[in-house]
Amino acid sequence: MDWYLAAMRRSFDFAGRAHRREFGWFIACVLLFSAVVSAVWDIAGRNAASVASALFTLVHLLPFLAATSRRLHDTGRSGWWQLLFFVPGLGLLALLVIMLLPGQAFANRFGPPSAAQPLEP
């Protein structure tokens, strides 16, 4: 839960780096919360579920983009690499592979290694 809260506190921070663990826990929490929201609102009815889903997506879109950008920075790539998501076919798979790569162990143009950075801003 600390990883999720740390990522949410850095919602508007596109600078710096994010370790695989930080990014992975954030994504896992978002997926878990999404499943819970969907299940709870599905009981309330289809219209309520779609509204809740849209609100959840809007709330988490910017933090997701920021966390993804920081994760790409950890691998030495610009946040603009997120545009691979829109490439049909292999774009999403390529982005996933890049996210799973280990971060650079040395300081790069985006800052010092993320393992040396504290979770709390």
Determine what percent of the chain is predicted with pLDDT higher than 90. 28
Q: What are the boundaries of each domain within the chain?
A: 2-103
pLDDT higher than threshold 50 for residue 58: yes
* Signed CA dihedral, 39, 40, 44, 46: sign only: negative
In this prediction, residue 7 carries a pLDDT of 64
In this prediction, residue 97 carries a pLDDT of 93
For 25-43, what is the mean pLDDT? Answer: 81
Please report where in the chains the tokens 């999403």 appear, as a residue: 92
- Confidence class of residue 3 from pLDDT cuts 50, 70 and 90? low
Residues 102/9, Cβ–Cβ less than 8 Å: no
Structure tokens at 37: 């929201």
In this prediction, residue 83 carries a pLDDT of 93
Determine what percent of the chain is predicted with pLDDT higher than 70. 84
For 62-81, what is the mean pLDDT? Answer: 92
In this prediction, residue 121 carries a pLDDT of 43
